[in-house]
Amino acid sequence: MKDGQTREAASRAAAAAIECKNISYRYPNLPKGAPHAIEQVNFAVDTGELVAIIGHTGSGKSTLIQHLNALLKPQEGMVFVDGKNIWENKSAVRAARFVAGLCFQYPEHQLFEETVEKDIAFGPRNMGLPKEEVHRRVREAAAFVGLDASLLPKSPFDLSGGEKRRAAIAGVLAMEPRVLVLDEPTAGLDPQGRERVLQMILRYRAQTGKTILLVSHNMEDVARLAGRVLVMHRGRAAMYGTVEEVFAQAGALNAMGLTVPSVTRIFLRLREMGLPVRDGVFTMEQGIAELLRLRAEGEKEVSHD
Amino acid sequence: MIKDITIGQYYAGKSPLHRMDARMKLLLTLGFMVVIFVCKNFFSLGLLAAASVVLALLSRVPAGMLLRSMRPIVMLVLFTGTLNLLYTKGEGMHTLVELPVWRWTLTITREGVNTAIFTTTRILCLILASSLLTYTTTPSMLTTGMERLLSPLSKLRVPVSVFAMMMTLALRFVPTLIEEVDRIMNAQKSRGSNLETGSLGKRIKAFVPVLVPLFVSAFRRAAELAYAMESRCYTGAGARTSMKRLRLRWSDFAAAGCMALLTAGVIAINYFWGSVI
């Protein structure tokens, strides 16, 4: 009976890179009556999609992503990665670690090896890959994050902050996970470092077409990168939809302690002031285009008169 | 697993033990530990074990929490207990059982059994007493108490207040570092390091990727803290006053009286019933 259910659910999830079915988790060492960290969360991510997860501090984002590579076991519900129930057996748990590559907040705090090269190789070596393959993956991952080959023999502790961050991300990329999960990859970086990391994510997606989950507090980044947005609020999945659908609900987001991109806020205000601007302005580029369109229309009207 | 460590963990409550002066608690805990090693026969040991249980009940700390603080030392207790059981040998001992095991013979003597019972009970009482101290006293009160108790040493130019500050800081960073260990372990597990299974040697090796980042971050935190303290003019010199005053009350003296009675009882029992170890 249970097997039948699992198989049925697995076949349904076959198309999805990640599917969480009604998962709930409560930290076991909290006093009784403490709320669940996540409760009845349901969502699926299609293969090749880039989904952003947003939510206020303590909304359950980090707890949620730790379920995706079997660091936490949901007390209720099931997690499917690439159509497989990751808690089916012991080998599935270990496999899940490699299928979903999790890159935590401030990943540079995990660097430990003597050289950058060895550190990036840590994951692939744990996968038991042959030496040449590990070597290839290290070179590729380093190139991907824009680390110069001359940095590889250096100690990771001699790198700059931004370089450390990229080296740590390379350590996850080198495992070539089918799903990449990034928890605030740009937190605490200077503007140039942020831009490099964001460019890297875009390039990675364009070249590999792999599924990416991105936890972010920066709505501009979300609007620029993501296809769909999952909004977490008090441990529940409060909204899940396209960038347009989610950011159209500025009021509801504000109530959850979140905002819409500042460009969107400007255009909402312009509308209130009576300008005929369109909906769906979330990025700077869209904003510029919309303003140019308005000006062009205005000029047309003037010339008609 | 990591979160089971209960050093310096405080359980908020309003029991008589919580209300006691930290200095008195420290002194009495020390005294209790000495008495644990003074007792020589089963009657006095029983009295001390009973006293420990009464103290535990008095503290109103949940039994589950107390047991959790014992969990890390279960192995140690079993180990020393077994060693004592099997390796207490000598002239004129009463052999109870002789077990032939392959090439050796394991001899269990009555003295061995006694020693095993004594050591295990003593260790358990020691742990219980010291964890009751940390459960019922906030770390800051504990260090203030120690500072005050050791303050006569500052006459001898021992930097007592600096040591007290070091204690406070060390205790303050215990939970932070535990969190850090959890975070780093998760990060390395995500990179496929296997921390749960494998032989002991393999597992120790698997902890290198956790320990190196832990030390790096501990040093970073220490440096940041030092800058923060220096920028607020901390020099360690001069008599610093404490926000919380320690005050001895009649109940503290009553507790001291109980302790004196207990000590006298143990010595009397030792004297009248003789010693078994």
SS3 annotation, chain A: CHHHHHHHHHHHHHHEEEEEEEEEECCCCCCCCCCCCEEEEEEEEECCCEEEEEECCCCCHHHHHHCCCCCCCCCEEEEEECCEECCCCHHHHHHHHHHEEEECCCHHHHCCCCCHHHHHHHHHHHCCCCHHHHHHHHHHHHHHCCCCHHHCCCCHHHCCHHHHHHHHHHHHHCCCCCEEEEECCCCCCCHHHHHHHHHHHHHHHHHHCCEEEEECCCHHHHHHHCCEEEEEECCEEEEEEEHHHHHCCHHHHHHCCCCCCHHHHHHHHHHHCCCCCCCCCCCHHHHHHHHHHHHHHHHHHHHHC
| pLDDT one-digit tens code per residue, A209-231 | 999 999 999 999 999 999 999 99
pLDDT at A12 over 80: no
A31: exposed, middle or buried (Cβ count in 10 Å: 0-12, 13-18, 19+): exposed
Nearest residue to B141 via CA among B11, B23, B6: B23
Q: Domain map of chain B by residue range? A: 2-156+245-273, 160-235
* Averaged pLDDT for residues A81-90: 86
pLDDT for the residue B8 = 52
| pLDDT one-digit tens code per residue, A112-164 | 999 999 999 999 999 999 999 999 999 999 999 989 999 999 999 999 988 99
Q: Is the pLDDT higher at B234 or at A181? A: A181
pLDDT at B4 over 50: no
**CA of B137 vs chain A CAs: smallest distance (Å):** 20
* Averaged pLDDT for residues A37-51: 92
Q: Does the beta carbon of A98 lie under 8 angstroms from any beta carbon of chain B?
A: yes
pLDDT at B34 over 90: yes
Question: Chain centroid to CA A53: how far?
Answer: 6
Is B205:B30 a contact under the CB 8 Å cutoff? no
Percentage of chain B modeled with pLDDT above 90: 27
Indicate yes or no: CB of B191 within 8 angstroms of CB of A103: no
**CA of B208 vs chain A CAs: smallest distance (Å):** 8
Indicate yes or no: CB of B187 within 8 angstroms of CB of A110: yes
Is A66:A263 a contact under the CB 8 Å cutoff? no
Give the whole-angstrom CA distance, residue B89 versus residue B75: 23
Pairing label, strands A50-55, A211-215? parallel
pLDDT for the residue B270 = 86
User: Which residue in chain A has the smallest CA separation from B181?
Assistant: A110
User: Which residue in chain B has the smallest CA separation from A99?
Assistant: B190
Give the whole-angstrom CA distance, residue B136 versus residue B10: 6
| pLDDT one-digit tens code per residue, A248-289 | 888 899 999 998 998 998 998 898 898 888 888 888 888 999
Indicate yes or no: CB of B209 within 8 angstroms of CB of A112: yes
| pLDDT-based confidence at residue A10 (cuts at 50, 70, 90) | very low
- pTM given for the model: 0.73
Neighbours of A209 (CB within 10 A): 9
Q: Chain B residues with CB inside 8 Å of A113's CB?
A: 209
Q: Does the beta carbon of A112 lie under 8 angstroms from any beta carbon of chain B?
A: yes
**CA of A33 vs chain B CAs: smallest distance (Å):** 17
**Which of B183, B193, B217 has the CB atom closest to A126's CB atom?**
B193
| AA letter at B174 | V
pLDDT at B181 over 80: yes
Give the whole-angstrom CA distance, residue B42 versus residue B276: 8
Inter-chain CB pairs, A–B, below 8 Å: 58
**CA of A109 vs chain B CAs: smallest distance (Å):** 6
* Averaged pLDDT for residues B176-202: 86
**Which of B183, B184, B191 has the CB atom closest to A122's CB atom?**
B191
Neighbours of A189 (CB within 10 A): 17
**Which of A29, A97, A110 has the CB atom closest to B192's CB atom?**
A97
Give the whole-angstrom CA distance, residue A142 versus residue B205: 26
Q: Chain B residues with CB inside 8 Å of A112's CB?
A: 208-209, 212-213, 216
Indicate yes or no: CB of B191 within 8 angstroms of CB of A112: no
* Averaged pLDDT for residues A2-8: 49
pLDDT at B255 over 80: yes
| pLDDT-based confidence at residue B236 (cuts at 50, 70, 90) | confident
Indicate yes or no: CB of B189 within 8 angstroms of CB of A71: yes
pLDDT at A19 over 80: yes
State the DSSP string of B108-174. Answer: EEHHHHHHHHHHHHHHHHHHHHHHHHHHHS-HHHHHHHHHHHHGGGGGGT--HHHHHHHHHHHHHHH
Q: Does the beta carbon of A66 lie under 8 angstroms from any beta carbon of chain B?
A: yes
pLDDT at B92 over 70: no
Indicate yes or no: CB of B3 within 8 angstroms of CB of A29: yes
Indicate yes or no: CB of B191 within 8 angstroms of CB of A110: yes
Percentage of chain A modeled with pLDDT above 90: 60
Residues of chain B that touch chain A, judged by Cβ-Cβ distance less than 8 Å: 3, 183-184, 186-194, 208-209, 212-213, 216-217
User: Which residue in chain A has the smallest CA separation from B193?
Assistant: A126
Q: Does the beta carbon of A102 lie under 8 angstroms from any beta carbon of chain B?
A: yes
pLDDT for the residue A305 = 56
**CA of A276 vs chain B CAs: smallest distance (Å):** 49
User: Which residue in chain A has the smallest CA separation from B209?
Assistant: A112
**CA of A301 vs chain B CAs: smallest distance (Å):** 59
State the DSSP string of chain B. Answer: -GGG--TT------SHHHHS-HHHHHHHHHHHHHHHHH--SHHHHHHHHHHHHHHHHHHT--HHHHHHHHGGGHHHHHHHHHHHHHH---TT--EEEEEEETTEEEEEEHHHHHHHHHHHHHHHHHHHHHHHHHHHS-HHHHHHHHHHHHGGGGGGT--HHHHHHHHHHHHHHHHHHHHHHHHHHHHHHHTT---SSS-HHHHHHHTHHHHHHHHHHHHHHHHHHHHHHHTTT--S-SPPP-SSPP---HHHHHHHHHHHHHHHHHHHHHHHH----
pLDDT for the residue B237 = 66
**CA of A70 vs chain B CAs: smallest distance (Å):** 9
Question: What domains appear along chain A, each with residue ranges and CATH number?
Answer: 2-243 (3.40.50.300), 261-305 (no CATH)
Query: Distances from the Cα of A180 to the Cαs of A92, A133, A244, B142, in angstroms?
Result: 18, 20, 23, 47
pLDDT at A169 over 90: yes
| pLDDT-based confidence at residue A243 (cuts at 50, 70, 90) | very high
| pLDDT one-digit tens code per residue, A174-190 | 999 999 999 999 998 99
Q: Is the pLDDT higher at A103 or at B277? A: A103
| pLDDT one-digit tens code per residue, B200-228 | 788 888 888 999 999 999 999 999 999 99
User: Which residue in chain B has the smallest CA separation from A172?
Assistant: B191
Looking at the DSSP assignment, which residues form a beta bridge with residue B106?
B99
Q: For the ranges A152-156, A186-190, A239-243, B86-90, which has the lowest average pLDDT?
A: B86-90
Residues 6+ apart with CB under 8 A from A1: none
Strand ranges of the sheet holding A16-25, from the earlier edge strand across to the other edge: A38-46, A16-25, A76-81, A84-85
| pLDDT one-digit tens code per residue, B119-171 | 899 999 998 998 899 889 887 788 888 888 888 888 888 888 888 888 888 87
Indicate yes or no: CB of A112 within 8 angstroms of CB of B186: no
Q: Chain B residues with CB inside 8 Å of A71's CB?
A: 186, 189-190
Count of positions (residues) in chain A = 305
Give the whole-angstrom CA distance, residue A165 versus residue A276: 44
| AA letter at A221 | D
